[in-house]
Chain A
Amino acid sequence: MKEKFKYIGKSIRKHDVKEKVTGKIKYAGDMKLGGMLYAKMLLSDAAHANIINIDTSKAEALKGVVKVFTHRDVPKNYYNSHKWYKGVDFPRDELILTEKVRHVGDRVAIVVAKDMETVERALSLIKVEYERLPVITSIEDAMKEGTTYIHGLSNKAFEKTIKCGDSSQILKEAEMVFEDVITTPKQHHAAMETHICVAEQDSFGNITVWSPCQVVFQVQLIIAEALDIPLDNIRVIKTIMGGSFGGKGQPILEPICAFLAMETGKPVQLITDRTQSIIGMRSRNASKICVKTAVDHEGKILARNIDADIDIGAYYTNGSAVPMAMGKKSFRMYKIKDQTFNGRSYFTNTVVGGACRGYGSPQIHAATEINIDNIARGLHMDPAELRLKNFVKPYDKDPTGGPDLGNARVIDCVERGMKVFKWKKKRSKAKAKGRFVRGFGMACAVHGNGYHGAYPDFITMTMRITNDNAVVLKSAIHDQGCGTVTTMKQIVGEVLDIHPDKVIVPQADTAFSPYDSAGTQASRVTFVCGGGAKKTAELAREELIAKSSVILDCKEDNITIKDGFIWNVEDEENKFTFGEMVVKIQNELEEDIEVTHTYKSPANPGVYAVNFVEVEVDRFTGLVKVIDVLAVHDIGQAINRDFVEGQIQGGAHMSIGLALSEEIKIDRMGRVGTLNFSKYHIINAPDMPDVRVELIEEGEALGPFGAKSVGEVCAAATAPAIINAINDALDINITDLPATPERVLKAIREKG
C-alpha cells in the first residue's frame, strides 16, 4: 500500500537554480571584504625530500607582498583533517606547512599579497632547495622490506580483517575457485569550483571562516586543533557549494586561511587553481584488490576471500576508514556464509587520499563485480542469473553484526533491469566480426545510510513557525548542490501540509546552527537529516495543534490542517494561515511555536544500485563508447524525483570516467602527468550517453517517508558494468581500471 503524497516525490525546482544559472549567486570566490588580502600556496614539485633551504627574499621584496610563510612560521600542531568530532582520533601527521615534503603537491610556502597577480609573481620567485629522498609511488614499493619510510617505521598505515565463518578452509577444499586481481586508479573529484576559503579575525580575536565545506563543525574542530585556539572562538559559515563530491569533505585550506588572517590581521582569501586541486587536495584512493570466490556448479557462492590493498597517498587522513567502508560493503550484497575481508592501507609519495563519492564502494564493487562476471563466464551462466542466486533478501541481517539491511531490494532492481533493458535478448546476440563490436554488461553496488552502528549519528534541529506565515528549519545542513535545502522543504511541507516555498531552510553556520554530529558524510543527509526534519516538523505540528485548540477553544482532534491553513473542523468559516494563528498564540497566550529536537538515526539500511550497459568497442583503436546505461535503484522513496535522477546521471558520469579515462597519472619519480583537464580526461558531453533511470520505491520503514540515500551508491556500479560489457564484447579479461584504449588493445593482443 502506497501513501499518497502532496509534495514528496514531486520534482520541485531546486531553491537556488535560477540564481546559479543566471550567474548571480555569490560563491566564496566572489567574496570581497574590505582590505582583503589574497593568498596562494607554493606546492612541492619534489615527491619526497627534505627542504634544506627556502629563499623567499626576492618574493618578499616584491611590491605588494605582505608576507611569505614557510614551515618556519607555522605552529607545529599536528592534526588529522579527517577527524570530525571530539572523541575519535586518527594518526596526526599533517601540518600547515611542512619541512619534509612527501608528495608532489605538498605544502611548502604561502604568499599573501594585495592582489592575485602579485601573489603569482611572488610564488615564482621563491627558491626551494631540496635534499631528495627515495620515492615510493606504488603499493608494491611501499610493501617492500627495508625501503624508505614516509612516516615512522612502516609504510603500512592500517590493517584490519572483517570476517564471518571460515572462508579459508572452504576455499582450500573447493572444486572451483575464481580469482581476479583488480586495480583502480586515483581519481580527481573534478568539481567546477576549485578549493577556496576566506577568513577574517575581528577585534575580539574571534575568527570567522567562510568555506564551501561539507561539515562546519569539523572545520571548526580542525582549525582549533591546528592552531591550538579555543573551538568557540571560531565561527564557520558554509558558503554556496560549487561542487565537492567528497573533495571538500576534509578541511584543507580552512586552518591555513584562519592562520593567515590571524597573522596578517586582515581578511584573507586563499585560492587554488586546477592543478593545485588535482595534486594538493584529496583524491579517491587507488586500490589493488584480490578476490577469490568459491562456487558450486549451480553458481551458488560458497565462500569468498578479499584482500584489499589501498594506496592512501602521503598522509593518513581517512586511511583507516576507506578500507573499513570497503570491507563492510562486501558483506551486504550477496549472502555468503563464509567470507573474509583483509584491508590494508599504505603510504606512498602520491596525492593524498580522502573522501570521494562512494567512499570505497566504487573500488570494492569494481573488484567483486568483475569477479562475479568472470565466475559466470567460467560456469557458462548468465551473470544476472548467477547474481540472483546469491543476493541478500529484504530484512536480512548483516553476518558480521553490522546494522540490519532493512528493505533491501536488490533482487527487484535486477529483475526490473533485465526486463527493461531486454537483457537476455541483448546478451544472446552474436558478436559482430568487424571493427566495431557491441558488448553488454551489468553490475551491482550497495551503500549505506549514515553512521548508525559505527559513529554518533544525530542532528539537532530547531523549527519555528513565524508570525509572517513561514516555517523556519534551523540546522547545520550543507547543500552540496544536490538539492538538500529543497529536500528538507519538501519533507517539512509534507508534514505540515504547507507549500515548500513557505519553508525557510538556512544552511550551516556554527554560530547559529544547532549541532550536527557528522555533516554531509556517509550518504546520511536525506536519511538522517531528512528524518530529523520530519520528526521536528511533526513536533511543531503537535505544538501548533495543541496551542491552536486553546485559541479556537476546541478539542485537539477537531483541529484541521490543510494547504497551509488551520481551523476548527466545526467552524469551516474561520480558517487561519499558520502565521495568523501564531500571531494569536503570541498575543493571547504569550507563547510561541518553536521546537528543538535531537534526532538520533534509528538504522542504517542498505541501498542498492544495479546498472546495465551497452558499449561499442573499436577493435582497431581500443576506444570504447558507452551506448546505453540503464540504472535501476532501490531508493525506498524519492523525495524529489528530479534530484534523484540528477544524482544518478552525475554518479554514472563519474563512474564512466573511472571505467574509461579518469586517472591521476604519477610516474616513478612521483611526478604527476595529469595536471589539468587537457590531460585528465573526465567524460565530456559528446561521450556521455543518456542514462535511463528506473526507481524501485518499496519504502524503508525507518527513513523519512520511506526514503533512503542515493548520492554515493549511484557512483559505484556503472564502472564495473562497463568493464564487464567490454569483456563481454571481446571475450577478454580487463581487470585494470580505467580501460584505456592502450589497455583494450593490449588485452586484444594478448588474447591473440
Chain B
Amino acid sequence: MSEIIIKTPDNLEALIECLVCANENTGLISGGTDFVIQLSQRKRYRGTIIDLSRINDLKYVKEDKDVIRIGSGTTLTDISENKLIKKYLPSLSQAAGQVGSTQIRNRGTIAGNIGNASPCADTIPPLMSVGASLKIVSGEGKIYEKTIDEVVIGSGRNNLKFDEAIVEIVFPKLSNDYISAFAKLGTRKAVTISKINAAVALKYSPKEKLIEDAKVYLGALGPKSFRSEIVEEALNNKIPSKELLKYFSKALTKQVDISIAGRSSQVYKREAIKGIGHDIFYKLFGNVVPGGDS
C-alpha cells in the first residue's frame, strides 16, 4: 500500500506547523483538481500531502481601504460570483467563471490556479493586469508578499519553496475610471483549456472618451502569461470606435506573430485572436460602440 501521509490543518497555525516538516516530497492541495490527476499520472506513491481545504479562514473576499483581499482557499465559483470582484475586477470574475467545468470551479481554488502555473491558467492574466501580489506563509512562520509575476515561473512551475504556501491574493482597488475584461478561446464553448486567453484593464471615463493606462496580458502564447506593450500602445490615448477595434485586433495578431513565430499553431492563433479582441472590446465598450452581436 502507499506511504502517503495526508495532513489536514484547519487553521493557519496548524498549517505553519505542517510546513515546518515539509520537504521536497511535500505537496499542497486544496481543491485537488490538478493535483489529484498529477498524483496518479506521475505515479507518486510516497510523501506528504498538506490539504488546505479545511482551513475556513482562507475562504474570503474582503475589501480594505485600498485593496481587495482574496483568501487562497476561495473557490473559483465563489470568485466568479463575488460582488466585490465583479465591481473592482470584472476580468477576474469572468476568468474564474470560465475555468474548466462547474464541478471544477466548485472545488478548484484561486491559489491552486496560480500555483499550478499553467501557461493557459485563466485567472493569471487578470491578476497580472492589475499587478496583484500574493501573501505567502513559510514554515518559519514568516509572512511576506511577492508579486504574482515573481511567483509564477510558467510551464507548470512556480518558485515557491516547499515550505511555503499562498494564503492571500491582494490587488489594488482601481478607481471608478478603470474597466477590465477577460476572454478566452478554446476548442469549444465551455469546459475547455484556453488556446489563447487575454485580460485587459484600462482607464476610461465616458466624459473624456479617452483610453489611458491600458494593461494587456495574454496567456497560452508562451510559458506564462505576459504583458503586450504592442497591444497596450494600440489602445492608449485612443477613442473607442470600430476603427479602434480593427486596430486593436491587428495589434493582437502582431503580438501573436511575434510570440509564437514559426509554431504550427501560429497560423490559427494569429487569426482567431481577432475573436478574443472583439469579445474583450465589446465587453469594455459595448455601451459606447454598437455592433457587439455581429
Contact = CB atoms under 8 A, between A and B. Distances in A.
Nearest to B249: A620
B272 A120 contact: no
A117 B275 contact: no
A602 interface: no
Interface stretch (B51-59, B183-191, B230-238): B183-191
Given A124-B43, A432-B294, A435-B278, A681 B268 contact: no
Interface string B63-97: 00000000000000000000000000000000000
Nearest to B192: A681
Contact of A745 (B40, B43, B193, B271): B271
B2 interface: yes
A68 to B, nearest CB: 16
B263 to A, nearest CB: 13
A191 to B, nearest CB: 19
A436 B189 contact: no
A684 to B, nearest CB: 5
Interface residues of A, number: 30
A741 B268 contact: yes
Contact of B272 (A433, A620, A661, A686): A620
B250 interface: no
Interface residues of B, number: 24
A297 interface: no
A625 interface: yes
Given A436-B294, A620-B278, A740-B187, A678 B193 contact: yes
Contacts, number: 66
Given A117-B2, A678-B193, A621 B185 contact: yes
A115 B2 CA distance: 11
Nearest to A675: B41
Contact of A687 (B190, B275, B278): B190
A741 B272 contact: yes
A735 B272 CA distance: 21
Contacts of B283: none
Nearest to B191: A684
Interface in A577-634: 618, 620-623, 625
A740 B186 CA distance: 11
Interface in B166-194: 185, 187-193
Interface string B234-273: 0000000000000000000000000000000001100110
Contacts of B278: 435, 620
Given A435-B294, A625-B189, A742 B268 contact: yes
A434 B294 contact: yes
Given A434-B294, A620-B275, A621-B275, A684 B268 contact: no
A124 B293 CA distance: 52
Interface centre among A433, A621, A622, A746 (most CB of B within 10 A): A621
B100 to A, nearest CB: 9
Given A622-B268, A745-B272, A684 B190 contact: yes
Interface of B: 1-2, 40, 43, 45, 101, 185, 187-193, 267-268, 271-272, 274-275, 278, 291, 293-294
18 contacts: A117-B1, A117-B2, A121-B43, A124-B43, A432-B294, A618-B275, A621-B275, A623-B189, A623-B275, A661-B188, A681-B188, A684-B188, A686-B190, A687-B188, A742-B267, A745-B268, A745-B271, A746-B267
Question: What 4 A-B pairs have minimum CB-CB distances, sorted nearest first?
Answer: A434-B294, A621-B275, A620-B275, A686-B190
Given A434-B291, A742-B268, 6 more contacts: A115-B1, A118-B1, A432-B294, A687-B188, A741-B268, A741-B272
Interface of A: 115, 117-118, 120-121, 124, 432-436, 618, 620-623, 625, 661, 678, 681, 683-684, 686-687, 740-742, 745-746, 749
